[in-house]
Each structure stands twice: as C-alpha cells, then as structure tokens.
C-alpha cells in the first residue's frame, strides 16, 4: 500500500530542501521525524510537517498503523521562480531569484517481519507466432508489366508476350532516370554565363 502527500510552492530553494530529504530516504517514519528534530537546517520544518500529513492520510484513509510505515520515495522538484530586483549603484538593478520547491512523498508499508512488501506485476504471455494466420506475400506488377504487340508488314498483329519494365526507368518526361539523361548535373552545367 502506498500513501502519497505533496507540499507545493515552498519558499525555499530545492537544493537546500534536497540536503534534508536525502538524509531520511528509506527510513521508518518515527526514526525520520526524530532525525529531522536535530537537523540544523530550516528545510527540516516543511519536510517534517509533510511527513506528519502523510501519516495522517495513512491512518485516516487507509487505516494503517504509524509504526508500520517507512519513507519509500521523497523527491524535491523545482517550482516557479519569483523574480525580484535590487537597486545598485549608478541606477542599475540586479535580479534576485526567489526559488520555490515542490516536495512529493510516498510512504510504503512494512510487513510485521520487517520486510518491505513488493507487489508482483502480472506479465501477459507473449502471443505465439504459430497461432497467427500466415500471410502469403503477393507481388504486384500492375504498373510494371506491359504487353508487347508486334505488327508485321502484312498488317496482322501478333502478341509477343509480357515484358517487365523497371519502374525506375520511367522518368518525368519519359526519360531514363538510371542512365542519367536529364538530371541535376546537366541542368547545372548547361547554364550560360551572361
């Protein structure tokens, strides 16, 4: 069971809050609160109040015991920055960035034996290839197949057979593309300098 709590727009730099947050990662909740009491950082106040809020969520919403909880995940992200300016000499102004941070907390449940619960994810069995119907490959030659008709001097027509023509040979104006009759190079070099 996971219990989540968030604290947003805390008027403190995320770097300063992370110093405190990294100290209490993966700790039981009671031990983390005791640790935060004796840390000489201002960021320990908002983090402690967030942990207390998450404990209250766990007890009220999920009916979990306080002794059976630990800090599973504690992340500190940067929020929006307030931009202020300070007057300096010669009519100048220098920027001041007042940073804010968002703290996300996830509490996990410890078993009675002290082992953390790990939920197993069910993995769907892969589909066998034999079960799928096999598709036969069909080659389409409708544009590239032409019937050749031969006319004799007598005026009678005879069908010679089907001739397969490479579709790459048919250019825009009936010119052969592969042979390079009319391409970019010929257009470039036939220009006359004026």
- Domains, the chain, with CATH or none: 3-85+93-109 (3.90.470.10), 145-189 (no CATH)
23 pLDDT higher than 60: yes
Residue 56's pLDDT is what? 95
Mean pLDDT of the chain, nearest integer: 78
**Mean pLDDT for the stretch of residues 4-27:** 96
167 pLDDT higher than 90: no
User: pLDDT tens-digit profile of 88-131?
Assistant: 999 999 999 999 999 999 999 987 434 444 455 566 666 555 55
In order of 43, 73, 115, the CA distances from 50 in angstroms are 11, 13, 24
Residue 116's pLDDT is what? 45
Residue 115's pLDDT is what? 43
CA distance 27 to 38: 15
**Mean pLDDT for the stretch of residues 62-87:** 95
Highest mean predicted confidence (pLDDT) among 16-25, 128-137, 166-175: 16-25
User: Phi first, then psi: what are they for 124, rounded to 5°?
Assistant: -70, 140
**Mean pLDDT for the stretch of residues 51-74:** 93
Q: Give the Cβ contact number of residue 134 at 10 Å.
A: 7
In order of 42, 54, 117, the CA distances from 38 in angstroms are 11, 21, 30
Q: 162 or 57: which carries more pLDDT confidence?
A: 57
Q: For the ranges 29-33, 55-59, 62-66, 185-189, which has the lowest average pLDDT?
A: 185-189
């Amino acid at each position: 069971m996971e219990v989540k709590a968030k604290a947003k727009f805390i008027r403190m730099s995320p770097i300063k809050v992370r110093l405190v947050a990294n100290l209490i990662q993966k700790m039981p909740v009671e031990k983390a609160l005791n640790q935060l009491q004796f840390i000489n950082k201002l960021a320990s106040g908002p983090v402690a109040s967030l942990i207390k809020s998450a404990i209250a969520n766990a007890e009220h919403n999920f009916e979990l015991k306080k002794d059976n909880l630990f800090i599973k995940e504690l992340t500190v992200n940067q929020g929006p920055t307030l931009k202020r300016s300070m007057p300096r000499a010669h009519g100048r102004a220098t920027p001041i960035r007042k940073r804010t941070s968002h703290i996300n907390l996830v509490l996990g449940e410890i078993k009675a034996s002290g082992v953390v619960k790990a939920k197993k994810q069910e993995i769907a069995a892969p589909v066998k290839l034999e079960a799928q119907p096999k598709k036969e490959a069909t080659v389409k030659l409708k544009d590239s197949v032409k019937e050749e008709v031969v006319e004799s001097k007598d005026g009678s027509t005879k069908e010679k057979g089907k001739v397969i023509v490479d579709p790459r040979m048919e250019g825009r104006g009936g010119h052969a593309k592969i042979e390079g009759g009319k391409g970019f190079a010929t257009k470039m070099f036939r220009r006359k300098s004026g």
